[in-house]
Structure 1
């Protein structure tokens, strides 16, 4: 699942690598048919669904990490806090020196809140998941829906920020590294500042809890025993997820646009989780899943690698293609680069036990050097 999530995240991030995506109206920015439909494809199938999928895996991973730590006689809380602090450092470096769209800082900070739930019973986790995902989103979505009906003109003025579009185009395409670093901070603050962090929390944290719930119930360890539950989950999340995703494409209503990401994203993520779980039962699908598995074992390294490549392609200190690439071309680039990542993963894992960043993360967590090379490899 991690490899699949890394691909989906790359599709979404690519829009912001090559364009001032934060500040523009995508439907008016990409007017050509290939670019427009490439954006619509990403909006429906990827936007807000893969960060939430990775959030599920983060919560799932915490429970697995706890079980292994306890089995080996380690203090889980102490180790996990060191793990989160290390992730936070990676995130700060990534956000302010490579690319503003970092999610690692958010995962690390929310991870400390997740620690409060590591002893929670499965039922408690499910209740919190449902409450945090549904109640605030429906209330906020409802209020925005009514506000948009009452004041449609005022809302439409918030769709684009022409000043920031021009600034981003200038800085990222021709500015110095210092100029770009300043702009990164502005963009990061725009995404994570003020009330935005609350909306991010309401989107991601319930998926943390759902992942922890699933790990405690051992559903992914015994998919065959829960096949009916996964089939039901896939059916319901498909209907709900894609309804929330598609309906806003035919409306400018702020409430529907909010729910597209707030509920559409997580429900589509749940659909993907259920479908991948069911796919694991069929050996004929194994060759399709292997490339994603290879990338998934190096997921943190590949996530950061994508940002390095993306900024080198589009920023002024690289090829300077910022603002000159459409959504369709960007989508093709994702497929090409990800294919390269699959090849690199296969070559790397023949010699090494972990990805380079995963290796550093493991050392920072346990406080001792871990052998990187596989046994028998010179």
Structure 2
């Protein structure tokens, strides 16, 4: 019985790692756009590089399957990992709270470097800050954590729906023949500013010509810019709370039976999948007009993201319950998720920025996405190779060493020793 329990515990860790690995791979599928072209195109595709059919198909596939869902799933796994790390610290006789806050402070430092030196889309500072808050609720049971996550998602979505409806009414009123001239002028200026002109694109290219140029541009945004994510704080808090609830309930650790996972996968993945496809078709039908696109992408889609994220998690758990070579590779990507996340930025910025191949603002959305499959292959190949020789990913090792103010063992001494979780 003891042996079975040990094997079950190991499988549950693998379940977490596989899910985290797939999530971090999916994130790059969306982030590559933010590295390849002007920032506004990340949020509104027609702003740049969106003229071909391939660009629209790539947006649609990302919108249906990845955008917001796998970032959300990664946030869920981050919340679960907070409890996992604190539990491990407690078993090892270390103070779990000191362990957690030391990790978050170091992560905050990494995030600031990532933002100011490499890329505006950093999420590490955000995770570190939210992680310092969400841990205060970590002693609650799974039911209360789940309820609080639902409250957070409602608090995130509801104001957007209210204010968007007011804005949409104002816009449609401006199109009426008898609309006030100042209202018409206001909306004409706003619509004209959605797509960057040649001067804006030229200035943006200059800001990505080198690391010093990026640093100067990032500095102009202010020292708190990487933390200025507005309502996204509330959504991320909801996802992390959901992760804690999923960990405590056994959902994320693979402790449920297959029948329950099947129900979650069908209801939480299958149902939203149809709705997201309908939303995408609606935006496409209206030519990605700003109001219609905003409605489906930033107003009505977000409330469904946590539902679909948990459906994806259930599907992953079902698919990778049994050991396989593919499961091992996804798990290795998950165990080196921090290193892989930064590696994606290094690869993306080298390909697109001026200090590398200088393809920034030269490719369409679909063309830029062609970088994704080889990077996925790289992640699957190097992660397992590395962990067969070392205990942790390179940045996981550095994070762990800095958090503990002591160099941690890195190289493996025996070939058959099991891989560890950083």
User: Is there any run of 5+ residues in structure 2 with no aligned partner, and where?
Assistant: 1-18, 175-186, 284-290, 416-422
Are the equivalent residues in 2 in contact too, given 1:100–1:185 (CA < 8 A)? no
Are the equivalent residues in 2 in contact too, given 1:101–1:188 (CA < 8 A)? no
Q: Which has the larger radius of gyration?
A: 2
Are the equivalent residues in 1 in contact too, given 2:33–2:365 (CA < 8 A)? yes
Structure 1 counterpart of 2:46: 27
Structure 2 counterpart of 1:215: 247
Given the alignment, which residue of 173, 176, 183 partners 2:217? 183
Given the alignment, which residue of 286, 298, 301 partners 2:336? 298
Structure 1 counterpart of 2:233: 201
Tell me the matched-pair count.
370
Structure 2 counterpart of 1:38: 58
Distance 1:282 1:275 in 2: 13
Is 1:160 paired with 2:195?
Answer: yes
Are the equivalent residues in 2 in contact too, given 1:146–1:255 (CA < 8 A)? no
Distance 2:309 2:281 in 1: 19
Q: What displacement does 1:97 show? A: 0.5
**1:135-162 deviation line (CA, Å, top 9, x unaligned):** 4403422431342133246364564344
Q: What displacement does 1:129 show? A: 0.6
Task: After TM superposition, list the pairs within 5 Å mapping 1:1-378 onto structure 2.
Answer: 1-23=19-41, 25-27=44-46, 29=48, 30-152=50-172, 154=187, 156-157=191-192, 159-162=194-197, 164-172=200-208, 175-185=209-219, 197-223=229-255, 225-238=256-269, 239-240=271-272, 242-244=274-276, 246-247=278-279, 249-251=281-283, 252-253=291-292, 254-282=294-322, 286-376=324-414
SS at match of 2:370: helix
Task: Between 246-255 and 60-69, report the one with greater CA deviation.
Answer: 246-255
The Cα RMSD (Å) is 2.5
Distance 2:57 2:47 in 1: 12
Are the equivalent residues in 2 in contact too, given 1:141–1:256 (CA < 8 A)? no
Are the equivalent residues in 2 in contact too, given 1:242–1:268 (CA < 8 A)? no
Q: What displacement does 1:245 show? A: 6.3
Pick closer, same or farther for the CA change 1:141–1:193 going to 2, 3 Å: farther
Pick closer, same or farther for the CA change 1:245–1:59 going to 2, 3 Å: farther
SS at match of 2:411: coil
Are the equivalent residues in 2 in contact too, given 1:83–1:361 (CA < 8 A)? yes
**1:87-124 deviation line (CA, Å, top 9, x unaligned):** 00110111101111110000000011112111112222
Distance 1:326 1:298 in 2: 30
Q: What displacement does 1:376 show? A: 3.6
Could you tell me the TM-score, scaled by structure 1's length? 0.89
Are the equivalent residues in 1 in contact too, given 2:280–2:296 (CA < 8 A)? yes
